[in-house]
Every structure is written in C-alpha cells, then in structure tokens.
A and B are shown apart, each in its own frame.
Chain A
C-alpha cells in the first residue's frame, strides 16, 4: 500500500497542460473568433475610412455608354445599369452599412439601458414600460421603416431611427432582466444594509453587471441592423438611390440578375462577410465575458 501512495507522486501526470501564451498574441490565439471576427471587421472599417483612396472611380459619376459591363481591368467588379463603377460603389457602400449598424447599436444601448434600469428598479414603472415595449416588439421593423419613409423622405437618418425603435425592446428587456437578478444578489442587499445610497448601488453594483451582456447584444443588433438597412434599400424604402449602399446596388442589379449576376454578387458578398464578422465577434465576446467562465479561474 505505501508503494502506491508514493508512486502516485512519481507517476507522470495524466494531462500535459500547455502553458497559455500571455500577452496580446496569447489572447489572439486563445480567442480565435474574436481575432477573426475583429480582424475582418477592422478591414471593412479601414476600407470605409480609406474609400477615397481605394476607389478607382467616382462612385456617383454616370457613364451610360458603359452600361452593365462585365468585370475587367478597368472596372474590377464591372459596371451597373448606369455605367457606374461597382467596385468603387461597393467600397463607399461600406460607409452606409457601418454607419447604420454602429449608430443603431449605440442608440439602442443608450436608450435600452436607460429604460431597462428604470423598469428594473421602479416597480410601478415596470408594468407600463414593459407593455409599451411589448407593443413595439409586435411591429416588424421593416414595416415601421416603410411607414416612416412614406411619411418623410428616404434618408439614412430615417433608416437609423426606424431600426433603432424596433430594436430598443430587445436591449431593454435584457437590461431589465440583468437588473432584476442583480438586485437579488446578497452583495446588493449587503450594500443596502451598510447604508449605501441607491444611485451608488446602481452605479457600482448593478451597472457593471449589465455591460458584458449589453456589448454582446449590441453586436448582434449591429449585424441585424446592417441586414435590415440592405433590405430597406433593396425594396426602395431606405437610403436614397443615389447614395451608394450595398442594398441599393443589389436593388439596381435585380432586373439583370440572370444575365449579369455580378452586379448583385459583389455587394452581397461584402454584406455577408461584414455581418459574419460582427456575429463572430459577438460570439467570441459572449464566451469571453460570460461570468461563469470568468469565475472559473
């Protein structure tokens, strides 16, 4: 019997645990989804910022004599029905998608956090606010946007407002849920018992809990806002047709889809890749910020 006890210390371990690399590189290797998603998104952002440098033509200049040409050395992605350079339009289109996606994500976060905190903290306000949110949730964002466009003019700001209104309930419910469960935590009760003022409790003990899930939710909202923007442009209820947005380019190529598929193809690929990048980043962040994973260390 002593032999086995002693041997236990001398036998090699059943696992070989590779040491995690530390530093930035270690983080990037350890979180491939954040690395890939964030990297791809960074490229798209860079592309949008540097659009004037990258574009080979003026995205707005018409050239009717060059209508719907196949890709060539001069026009890398070909030209559309009005002879505009699709490559340059796609590059500039990234600006629209990113602006809409990021604006909607930020706006829903700010408004959702505010309403969610009130609903989670004031019992009497909770019932009213949540019924309003239920009502908003019942309206499809596309219908809301179409109605808004019908009342005003098609513009990017209107697209942002329409999508934001439709997405606020999602963020609001999330924040409210986090606040309600955080309030039950013994450490929040302990803070009450030690005489901490309510606004300090919210700021110090409750708000930090909402941040991680909010960031994750915001990335998903950003991705879906970009898709909704493209759909709205595609059906003609979004950004004005002169503005180069991926949805607009696709809308223009719709009629020629069977004979000139490249007009739809290139903006579609860019939209898909960007949405995929944002979603990958969101998934990576969710796993990284998951409190259960965090407490394991």
Chain B
C-alpha cells in the first residue's frame, strides 16, 4: 500500500463565469521516502491539489470528490476535527511565503511548541527542548535566541527554515511542499533544498513537491507528474522524463526554459508555446493542449486522449506522443545541449 493514493480527484470552484474545473480526474500515489513532484504552470491545478490533500479548500465556493487515501484512510471523508488531528502531525506542509504562514504575534518558540503540545501532548520543558532541537536540525544559528524572536525579526531564508522545523516537529509521514523555495534567493534556495533532501533521506518521510521550476524538480524528485489545465498529462521517473519527455507540452516546457551554458553557445531563440492556457470553465471534449500543440491531429480535436502506458513506467495522455527515442541517442542529445 502506498503512503498516499489519490484516485479520480476532482476539485471545482464556483466562479462568476461558471464552474471552474481546477482539478479534473487526477490520480497519483506516493510511497514512503519518495519525493513526487507535481509540475505545471500557474492555474494547472497543482496548488489546489495540495489544498485538497490538506483539507484546506475554501468552504462554500469549492467542492471535491474522488478519493485521497492516506495510509488507507480517505481524507476527503474525514470531518474537520479528524482532519485537524492529522494535519500538522502525520501530514504537514511548507508553503511558498513563510511570512504569511507564520503567526506574526507569536514567537518562533511558541509556534513550534503549539504544534507539539497540540499533537504530542508534551509538557512545557519537553516542548522547549524539542523546539530547540528542531531549530538546530534545520541549521538555524543561535537557536536559543531565535526561539524568543518574532517572525518579522528573521530573514526570508530563516523563516522558511522555521516553517520546515514546524513541519517536521511531529515526525510527519507525509510532507506537502508548495513552491517551498520560490520566494527565496538562489544561494538560500540551494541551502533549503539541501536541507530538505537531507532531512527526508534521514526520516523516510514521503513528499509531494509542488513547483513550476524544472531545476528544483531535477534536484529533488524521484518521480514527476506534469499537469496541464487541471489534468495529469504525463508521469514518469525523473530521469526518463528529462531524457525523453513524451507529451508535447512537457517537451515544449523543457525547451522553453533558458539554460545556463557555462559560456557555451546558447540557442538564438527559445521555443515558445503559442497561445494561452484554456479557461477551466470550458467543458472538455477534445485534448485541451491541442490548440497549442505542434503534433495535433484530427483525433486530438475530437476526443480527450486516455492516460496510458507509453514505455517502461512512463505514462502519457496524448494521441501522438513524442517518438520514443533510441536509448543510446536520446541521452547525449539533452546532455549535449547543456554541457557543450
């Protein structure tokens, strides 16, 4: 049994222009100790998926169905109280903007302590000791002093470390990280990615990493899910995906990124994806990527492609996937582009 198993998840929002199908039939699974990355551009449904797992969808204007099984329990069927017991303990989270996720009027020590007292029922002294230990673990200098500080007294990188310390304080079995390093500078991002990789490797926590940055995916993930307009369009182990993306969207995304060449020859022009993302309120019949796709055919215009196996452990939702390259030829192509 997987740690997290999502099947046929749909999340819809009520908007002024109709029903917005933010997530439409998403299925995926994460094992213990595994990092699964969900990549896609804004509005593809990746963050909404995270909210759905954590039971944080806004009430009244959104609804979800399908199943989200965590260690066998369907999270969507739980009451708010039951969900609260799981959230922050067995499943915890790290968000993009640490400033808005931390309570500005509580000291760092209190905030970490709150989680511990709530879920572990620790006493005052034990809580403090554990909070101190957590701050040390995430590499915060002078942890004793930091415990008494307020979030605004810390830098962005420090705040993100505090968020990670809070997220890991109760030894969660699943960590949801939504763009955890997007707001950080590159040198700090490198520190935080190293830290998360190290901690996850040590504790065997499963992780869902939500990001738009293929660089972060390559650094962190073992498995990748690519989403477009609320649906999963490709899923593969990280090496296969980067070596031979099969969905034209994934391919175009990878090609449209400017890359560091270390002084080498860069392409004159970047690959563009023409057009724009479709409105999620439009009913889906044909492939949603078809209007922007260089490989589109008549079939694409009539029916949404099924999500099917297209290689060893590699799945894609496309009628005309990118050709399966010869293993021998494929590798140097992408490598050559970067190392040249």
Interface residues of A (CB under 8 A from B): 1-2, 4-9, 11, 13-15, 17, 20, 296-297
Contact = CB atoms under 8 A, between A and B. Distances in A.
B19 interface: yes
Interface in B211-231: 231
B306 A6 contact: yes
B7 A4 contact: yes
B65 interface: yes
A7 B16 contact: no
B284 A17 contact: no
A9 B18 contact: no
B65 A14 contact: yes
Interface of A is mostly: loop
Given A1-B307, A7-B25, A8-B24, A13 B8 contact: no
Nearest to A4: B8
B304 to A, nearest CB: 6
Interface of B: 7-8, 10, 12, 14-19, 21, 24-25, 27, 63-66, 231-232, 283-285, 304, 306-308, 315, 317
B43 to A, nearest CB: 15
A296 B16 contact: yes
Given A2-B306, A2-B307, A9 B284 contact: yes
B28 to A, nearest CB: 10
12 contacts: A1-B27, A2-B307, A2-B308, A4-B8, A5-B307, A8-B231, A9-B25, A13-B21, A14-B19, A14-B65, A17-B14, A20-B16
Nearest to B24: A8
Interface of B is mostly: strand
A296 B14 CA distance: 12
B10 A14 contact: yes
Contact of A14 (B27, B63, B304, B308): B63
A15 B304 contact: no
Nearest to A14: B63
The 10 closest A-B pairs by CB, nearest first: A8-B25, A2-B306, A4-B8, A14-B63, A14-B12, A5-B307, A15-B19, A13-B19, A297-B16, A5-B25
Contact of A15 (B8, B14, B25, B315): B14
Q: Which of A2, A13, A15 has the most CB of B within 10 A?
A: A15
B45 to A, nearest CB: 12
A5 B317 contact: yes
Contacts of A11: 10
Nearest to B23: A8
Nearest to A11: B10
A19 to B, nearest CB: 9
Given A7-B8, A15-B14, A15-B63, 17 more contacts: A1-B307, A2-B307, A4-B8, A4-B66, A5-B25, A5-B231, A5-B232, A6-B304, A8-B10, A8-B24, A9-B285, A11-B10, A13-B12, A14-B10, A14-B12, A14-B64, A297-B17
Q: Which of A1, A2, A296 has the most CB of B within 10 A?
A: A1
Contacts of B284: 9
A7 B25 CA distance: 8
Nearest to A19: B18
A261 B214 CA distance: 78
B306 A5 contact: yes
Contacts of B19: 13-15, 17
A201 B27 CA distance: 52
Contacts of A5: 25, 27, 231-232, 304, 306-307, 317
B7 A9 contact: no
Nearest to A13: B19
Nearest to B18: A17
B324 to A, nearest CB: 19
Q: Which of A8, A13, A15, A20 has the most CB of B within 10 A?
A: A8
A296 B8 CA distance: 28
Nearest to A293: B16
Contacts of A6: 304, 306
B283 to A, nearest CB: 8
Contacts of B64: 14
Contacts of B307: 1-2, 5
